[in-house]
């Protein structure tokens, strides 16, 4: 079978200590055993200096309580186990290298283990902040790209001074505006900013200006020229040169030179010989800034090779995952798209910051937490798998339990029948690799997959030139695809809210553009407030730079959890990916079970056998827990990718396991366990095996050029005072709350009274039905004298409230959907159409209620929809059919059973003019529809069709309410009528 995906090289991460058992009977013996283990002692010093120092106090005979000794012993033992039983990179515990696929396996990693020693990011950032305070007058400043203007405030996207504060803002004053204009795109020295302010406001304001600028620096509204590339492409030598220029008192320069030299000396030492050198470095660094000092990583310049059999397995599994995503029909982002379209309509691009505002916009997508929305919302409906799939997964689950076998995801018939046309650009898969009977066996890690190519390699690209080239190769796949598809790639980099997390944000930027917040980048930086969001004709979100008109896709190739990103940044990253990919439906189906058998796809282990223990089970005796759950001798205690291997033949492991169970029980927490599948590991070094995992980038073989679904002609910018009409500014906008079962009574009995009053004052009015979440009718009114009209209409509303017809009335701002209906040029005509349609629908409903019109609402909908289409397209049936294919691609042939009756309805009520005699306003409406059609000639077909469909949609809403399925059926009926009409016309002409 021809595969559409491929993979070449991959990352290898392995522990530097080989697997061997430690069978000490108690913690005292264990601590003595590791006392002379120089390698582990240095590993512990780098991982947790405080724990290392506590251990040394224990060795020196300092008096400690038994409880503290036990806590110390357990903590050290966990680190010791981590040093040989986990491959995830951390300090001196594990190393990173590159692997490849080949016809022959080569699993011996013969390269040299090398150190990469960097300044701890938090230490570096705090040093920069300290220098900014002490040498503020010697530095130059730019506006922080995380600032954006929002009304009369200047807001920062988040705060890095206080992790408890989600947002910082100041008044947008003329002073700030002057500074913003001066420093928005270039560095300006402190004294130059002062002189500019003094020039504008006078010498007497110099002290106030100085104090104000210092406050902007302290709160990071201004960032200096030494706050540049701190976590991306950082070079210590260049930083020292910048410090030298301003450090006239040599408070920092000589110490930084000494630190740099000591780091070089430490880097050349063997692991196990470096504690004294590290202590010397830490002492010097602590004289500048506390508390963390260095970030140390290991890489290996060797390379292993996996067999091509494993490559084929990975590619087949990748194709299974991609085809599986086709079953995902609705995610939380689909819910967010509906909210966007509901508020803004189509052909509208909205500023990102406005969009995410809970009051002015629609807030953040469901589940986003930084910050939480200012309103409560229920969980949106999602569809990740069909009922048939769920049943199949459950059947496989039951079968595995009955037979004691595995849950097999591979189904040959389904696999070869899956949609192979669905192609993702690429993604990354994470596997443990073990040796079983001489074969390399792949087992998916808890991380599973990443949708973002290059996300895993970015963090390690800073370690060596070889790893940087590997990262560039991976990200270039994305760059090339975006280039041919007309998108610009943009890397997001920022200082996190909690600066302790900054180390995992390091990466090498290979992209031309960057969105950099709280730190500067020399590359072409994007401005937060310039980013606008729209929805294309494929119903996907896109981002555009409003000023340059460039389409952008945003990525973040660091290891910082995107769930921790500010909402806006997370959203930008998520919409650049295939949002339906990466969901494992079987995990969602099985999550309710406390015991899940092993899950496999052919020879790949997708998930080990797992147990979830909680509540009463954890309060039982440990032996009873093991017996009742049939737990294996070796198992893992899981917490995401942080897992602890327990070997019940090891007394210390038994003691550790009992402590873990007891703590989980006391805290009423769930305990997750999984089987230890294999003992033999992949990577070999000096005749011992080392636990390892691999990160495999999988990508499409052929270049994918995404079709352009976004129009090049951008919507016009509409001023707020034109778009939004506050009460009594040309319009009055009411929300009339009532029970759904009395809406027809209101429309047929009360609305005619309102229309009569409006018409007496030469006005116009239209309504739609709405649910948000309570049912209500939204009524807009425009008259010559709105205040006078309001007094009269108020009397009608008062009577409705007394009669329990209306429960509540809100007066609101009318946000005109100008882009949805063709822009400023067309919105007055569209509003006139709405008002005519309102009058026609209200009169129709009254005629039906008075039994003067013997039609159902569905009959009336067919007639009116037919009328609209014939008017829009001026009787051109071929164009009508083309429109219906666009608006309703589903062909519901079953809706044409009453074709003869529907044809007769059209003939009687429209062609013979019966309905026009009853509703003379239809003639005027027809003229307005044709006028709108003429004005849309210069627009694209798609945009024109969206305008027409929107107008027909709100007509249907007025007629029978919010019933999208009904509208689809009506379009299908009309398609059948028009096709029959065309056939008859062709036959007659023939």
Beta bridge partners of 140: 189
Q: Where are the domains of the chain?
A: 7-117+294-304, 610-676, 716-816, 824-834+849-990
Q: Longest Cα pair distance anywhere in the chain, in angstroms?
A: 109
Mean pLDDT, residues 229-239: 91
**What is the rounded distance in angstroms from the CA atom of residue 434 to the CA atom of residue 534?**
47
Q: What is the pLDDT of residues 452-493, one digit of tens each?
A: 899 899 999 999 999 999 999 999 999 998 988 889 999 999
Q: What is the pLDDT of residue 711?
A: 57
Structure confidence at residue 891 (pLDDT): 61
pLDDT tens for each residue of 840-887? 999 999 999 888 888 999 999 999 999 999 999 999 999 999 999 888
Read off the tokens for 715: 């919507």
Question: What share of the chain has pLDDT > 70, as a percent?
Answer: 94
* pLDDT tens, position by position, 897-953: 678 888 988 988 888 888 889 999 999 999 999 999 999 998 888 889 989 999 999
Asked if residue 462 lies in contact with residue 295, where contact means CB atoms within 8 angstroms, the answer is no
79 Cβ contact partners less than 8 Å away, ≥ 6 residues apart: 43, 44, 47, 48, 51
Global pTM value: 0.86
For the domain with range 716-816, which CATH number is right: 3.30.9.80, 1.10.3720.10, 3.40.50.720, 3.30.70.100? 3.30.70.100
- Please measure the distance between the N-terminal and C-terminal CA atoms of the chain and give it in whole angstroms: 51
Peptide bond into 248 cis (omega under 30): no
Polymer length of the chain: 990
Distance CA 331, CA 451 (A): 15
Three-state SS letters, 114-166: EEEEEECHHHHHHHHHHHHHHCHHHCEEEECCCEEEECCEEEECCCCCCCCCC
Convert the pLDDT of each residue in 567-596 to its tens digit.
999 999 999 987 677 788 999 999 999 999
pLDDT at 512: 86
Which of 694, 688, 684 shows the shortest CA–CA distance to 108?
684
Interval 669-691 mean pLDDT: 86
Of the CA atoms within 13 Å of residue 940, those in its CB half-sphere come to 13
SS3 797: helix
**364 contact partners, CB below 8 Å, separation of at least 6:** 356, 358, 372, 373, 567, 571
Instruction: Please report which confidence band the pLDDT of residue 416 belongs to, taking 50, 70 and 90 as the band edges.
Output: very low
Residue that is written with structure tokens 């030469």 in the block? 762
The helix (H) or strand (E) run that includes residue 526 is none
Q: Give dist(CA 604, CA 677) in Å, integer.
A: 12
Task: Output the CA–CA distances (angstroms, integers) from residue 333 to 364, 447, 488, 962, in the order listed.
Answer: 10, 22, 22, 22
Range in 180-184, 674-678, 948-952 the model is least confident about: 674-678
Q: Which residue has the higher pLDDT, 14 or 819?
A: 14
Give the separation between CA 591 and CA 478, rounded to whole angstroms. 34
pLDDT digits (tens, 9 = 90+) for 285-333: 999 998 789 999 999 999 999 999 999 999 999 999 988 877 788 889 9
Q: Pairing state of beta strands 595-596 and 513-517?
A: unpaired
Q: Which three-class secondary structure state does DSSP give residue 63?
A: coil
Provide φ and ψ at 545, rounded to 5°. -80, 115
pLDDT at site 962: 82
pLDDT band at 404 (very low <50, low <70, confident <90, very high): very high
């Amino acid at each position: 079978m021809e595969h559409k995906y491929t993979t070449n090289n991959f990352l290898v991460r392995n522990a530097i200590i080989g697997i061997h058992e430690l069978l000490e009977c108690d913690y005292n013996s264990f601590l003595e055993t590791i006392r002379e283990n120089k390698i582990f002692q240095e590993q512990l010093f780098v991982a947790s200096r405080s724990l290392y120092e506590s251990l040394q106090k224990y060795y020196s005979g300092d008096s400690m309580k038994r409880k503290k000794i036990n806590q110390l012993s357990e903590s050290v033992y966990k680190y010791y186990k981590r040093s040989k039983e986990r491959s995830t990179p951390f300090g001196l515990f594990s190393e990173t290298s590159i692997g490849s696929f080949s016809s022959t396996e080569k699993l011996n990693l013969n390269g040299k283990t090398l150190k990469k020693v960097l300044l701890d990011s938090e230490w570096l950032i705090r040093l920069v902040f300290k220098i900014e305070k002490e040498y503020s007058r010697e530095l130059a400043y730019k506006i922080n790209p995380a600032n954006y203007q929002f009304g009369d405030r200047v807001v920062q996207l988040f705060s890095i001074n206080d992790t408890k504060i989600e947002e910082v803002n100041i008044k947008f004053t003329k002073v700030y505006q002057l500074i913003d204009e001066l420093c928005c795109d270039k560095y300006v020295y402190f004294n130059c900013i002062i002189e500019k302010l003094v020039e504008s406001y006078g010498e007497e304001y110099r002290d106030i200006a100085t104090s104000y600028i210092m406050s902007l620096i302290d709160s990071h509204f201004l960032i200096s020229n030494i706050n540049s590339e701190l976590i991306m492409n950082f070079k210590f030598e260049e930083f020292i040169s910048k410090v030298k220029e301003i450090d006239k008192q040599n408070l920092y320069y000589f110490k930084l030179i000494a630190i740099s030299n000591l780091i070089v000396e430490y880097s050349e030492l063997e692991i196990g010989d470096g504690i004294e050198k590290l202590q010397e470095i830490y002492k010097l660094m602590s004289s500048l800034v506390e508390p963390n000092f260095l970030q140390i990583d290991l890489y290996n310049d060797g390379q292993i090779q996996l067999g091509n059999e494993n490559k084929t397995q990975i590619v087949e599994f990748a194709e299974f995952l991609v085809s599986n995503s086709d079953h995902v029909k609705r995610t939380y982002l689909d819910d967010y798209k509906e909210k966007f379209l509901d508020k803004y309509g189509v052909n509208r691009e909205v500023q990102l910051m406005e969009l995410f505002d809970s009051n002015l916009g629609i807030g953040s997508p469901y589940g986003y937490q930084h910050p939480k929305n200012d309103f409560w919302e229920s969980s949106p409906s999602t569809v990740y798998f069909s009922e048939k799939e769920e049943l199949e997964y459950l059947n496989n689950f039951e079968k595995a339990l009955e037979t004691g076998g595995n849950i097999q995801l591979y189904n040959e018939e389904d696999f070869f029948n899956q949609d192979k046309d669905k192609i993702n650009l690429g993604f990354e898969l994470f596997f443990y690799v073990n040796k079983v009977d001489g074969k390399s066996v792949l087992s998916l890690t808890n991380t599973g997959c990443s949708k973002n190519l290059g996300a895993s390699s970015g963090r390690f690209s800073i370690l060596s030139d070889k790893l940087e080239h590997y990262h560039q190769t991976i990200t270039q796949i994305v760059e090339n695809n975006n280039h041919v598809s007309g998108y610009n790639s943009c890397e997001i980099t920022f200082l996190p809210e909690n600066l302790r997390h900054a180390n995992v944000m390091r990466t090498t930027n290979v992209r031309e553009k960057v969105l950099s917040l709280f730190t500067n980048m020399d590359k072409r930086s994007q401005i937060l407030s310039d980013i606008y969001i729209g929805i294309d004709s494929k119903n996907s979100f896109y981002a555009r730079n409003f000023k340059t008109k460039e389409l952008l896709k945003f990525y973040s190739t660091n290891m910082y959890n995107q769930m921790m990103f500010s909402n806006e940044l997370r959203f930008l990253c998520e919409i650049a990916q295939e949002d339906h990919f990466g969901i494992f439906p079987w995990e969602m189906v099985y999550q309710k079970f406390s015991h899940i058998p092993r899950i496999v796809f052919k020879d790949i282990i997708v998930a080990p056998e797992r147990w979830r223990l909680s509540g009463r089970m954890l309060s039982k005796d440990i032996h009873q827990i093991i017996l009742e759950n049939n737990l294996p001798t070796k198992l893992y205690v899981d917490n995401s990718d942080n897992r602890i291997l327990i070997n019940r033949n090891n007394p210390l492991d038994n003691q550790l396991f009992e402590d873990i169970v007891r703590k989980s029980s006391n805290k009423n927490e769930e305990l997750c366990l999984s089987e230890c599948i294999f003992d033999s590991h992949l990577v070999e070094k000096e005749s011992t095996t080392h636990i390892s995992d691999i990160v495999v980038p999988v990508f499409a073989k052929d270049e994918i050029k995404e079709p352009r679904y976004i129009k090049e002609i951008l919507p016009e910018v509409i001023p707020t005072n034109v778009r939004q009409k506050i009460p009594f500014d040309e319009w009055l906008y009411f929300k009339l709350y009532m029970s759904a079962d009395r809406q027809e009574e209101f429309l047929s009995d009360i609305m005619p009274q309102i229309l009569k009053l409006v018409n007496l004052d030469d006005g116009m009015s239209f309504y739609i039905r709405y649910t948000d979440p309570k049912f209500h009718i939204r009524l807009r009114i425009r008259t010559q004298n709105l205040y006078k009209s309001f007094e009269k209409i108020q009397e009608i509303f008062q009577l409705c409230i007394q009669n329990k017809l209306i429960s509540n009335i809100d007066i609101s701002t009318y946000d005109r959907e100008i882009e949805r209906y063709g822009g400023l040029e067309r919105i007055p005509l569209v509003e006139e159409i709405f008002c005519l349609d309102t009058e026609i629908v209200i009169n129709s409903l009254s005629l039906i209620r008075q039994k003067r019109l013997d039609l159902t609402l569905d009959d009336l909908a067919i007639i009116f929809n037919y009328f609209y289409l014939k008017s829009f397209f001026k009787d051109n049936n071929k164009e009508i059919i083309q429109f219906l294919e666009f608006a309703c691609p589903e062909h519901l042939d079953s809706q044409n059973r009453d074709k003869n009756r529907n044809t007769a309805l059209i003939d009687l009520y429209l062609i013979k003019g019966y309905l026009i005699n009853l509703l003379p306003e239809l003639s005027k409406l027809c003229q307005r529809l044709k006028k709108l059609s003429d004005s849309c000639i210069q627009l694209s077909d798609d945009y024109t069709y969206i305008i027409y469909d929107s107008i027909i949609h709100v007509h249907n809403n007025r007629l029978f309410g919010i019933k999208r399925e009904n509208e689809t059926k009506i379009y299908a009926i009309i398609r059948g009528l028009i096709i029959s009409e065309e056939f008859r016309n062709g036959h007659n002409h023939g």
